[in-house]
């Protein structure tokens, strides 16, 4: 099988790279490879942080519409779960994840960017959920993750109209977190990832879990999740290192293993 998703690891940063030119259309095979790459990134201890990257020209322009056009209700009823599982595998990588978005991130491409912890976009980026224009709705998490990120009203506007959002508007509504020149997107994403790759891995994992799981429940339950994870970190070597360094050298100088 031709590989259309790659995991490249360097200096603690795992880049999950989409590679199906010209538009990185996410067909079923690519979705399955995306899940495999996410699971591998989660499993490998030398991967400390992850960058999602579609290349210099385009992040991902959406699903493979020609493939979907030939599918019946029964076909999609069978395919729907693996589709969502691929994206959920990315969202559940227990490490910091940043999406480096260039060009189009539409439909499934936007849904993939939503699976990251933060999104750095190029000035030429275009994001959106245009499924309504096909008589559909987002099916890889867009109705859920987009509304949690930008709020239900803004999410409904984008989903109901199918319109594309330019980088400046995406930044204003919180769909992306930073906008840089197109030629600097991947470097900016790697810089963010590199800063965290040297951090305390278990504390970062706990922080991500506390935020993500807390958003799925009520405040009291979220506080209970936080409390358990916070206490658990007192059993880690990184906690000993961090506190000892703070007492002996001052803040921000700890070197975590």
226 is catalytic: no
Other Cβ atoms less than 10 A from the Cβ of 77: the count is 10
Report the distance separating Cα 96 and Cα 47, nearest Å.
10
85 is catalytic: no
**pLDDT tens digits, one per residue of 42-89:** 999 999 999 999 999 999 999 899 999 999 999 999 999 999 999 999
pLDDT band at 257 (very low <50, low <70, confident <90, very high): confident
What CATH class does 201-249 carry? mainly alpha
Note whether 5-197 and 201-249 share their fold: no
- Given 3.20.10.10, 3.90.1150.10, 3.40.50.300, 3.90.226.10, which CATH number is that of 5-197? 3.90.226.10
Report the distance separating Cα 255 and Cα 12, nearest Å.
15
Under a CB-based contact definition with an 8 Å cutoff, are residues 204 and 96 in contact? yes
Q: Reply yes or no on whether the pLDDT at 216 is more than 80.
A: yes
How many Cα atoms occupy the beta-carbon half-sphere of 194 within 13 Å?
8
**pLDDT tens digits, one per residue of 47-60:** 999 999 999 999 99
Per the structure block, which two tokens stand in for 234? Answer: 């007192």
Cβ neighbours of residue 187 under 8 Å, at least 6 residues apart? none
Query: 201-215 vs 219-232: helix axis angle to the nearest 10?
Result: 170
Mean pLDDT over residues 18-30, rounded? Answer: 96
From the list 36, 40, 46, 131, the catalytic residue is: 131
From the list 56, 111, 183, 237, the catalytic residue is: 111
Report the distance separating Cα 64 and Cα 125, nearest Å.
20
* Domains of the chain, residue spans: 5-197, 201-249
Other Cβ atoms less than 10 A from the Cβ of 149: the count is 16
**End-to-end distance of the chain based on CA atoms, in angstroms?**
37
Q: Reply yes or no on whether the pLDDT at 254 is more than 90.
A: no
Q: Reply yes or no on whether the pLDDT at 190 is more than 80.
A: yes
């Amino acid at each position: 099988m031709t590989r259309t998703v790659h995991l490249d690891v360097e200096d603690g940063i795992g880049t999950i790279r989409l590679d199906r030119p010209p538009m990185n259309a996410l067909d079923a095979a690519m979705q399955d490879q995306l899940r495999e790459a996410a699971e591998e990134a989660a499993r490998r201890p030398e991967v400390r942080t992850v960058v999602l990257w579609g290349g210099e020209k385009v992040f991902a322009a959406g699903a493979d519409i020609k493939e979907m056009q030939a599918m019946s209700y029964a076909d999609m009823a069978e395919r729907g779960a693996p589709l969502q599982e691929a994206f959920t595998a990315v969202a559940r990588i227990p490490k910091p994840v940043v999406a480096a978005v260039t060009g189009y991130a539409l439909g499934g491409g936007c849904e993939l960017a939503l699976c990251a912890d933060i999104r750095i976009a190029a000035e030429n980026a275009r994001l959106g959920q245009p499924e309504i224009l096909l008589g559909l709705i987002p099916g890889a998490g867009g109705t859920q993750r987009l509304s949690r990120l930008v709020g239900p009203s803004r999410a409904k506007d984008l989903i109901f109209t199918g319109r594309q959002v330019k980088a400046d508007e995406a930044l204003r509504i919180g769909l992306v977190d930073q906008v840089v020149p197109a030629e600097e997107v991947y470097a900016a994403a790697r810089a963010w990832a590199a800063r965290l790759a040297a951090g305390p891995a278990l504390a970062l994992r706990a922080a991500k879990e506390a935020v993500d799981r807390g958003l799925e429940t009520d405040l009291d339950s979220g506080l209970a999740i936080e409390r358990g994870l916070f206490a658990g970190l007192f059993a880690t070597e990184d906690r000993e290192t961090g506190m000892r360094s703070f007492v002996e050298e001052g803040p921000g100088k700890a070197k975590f293993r």
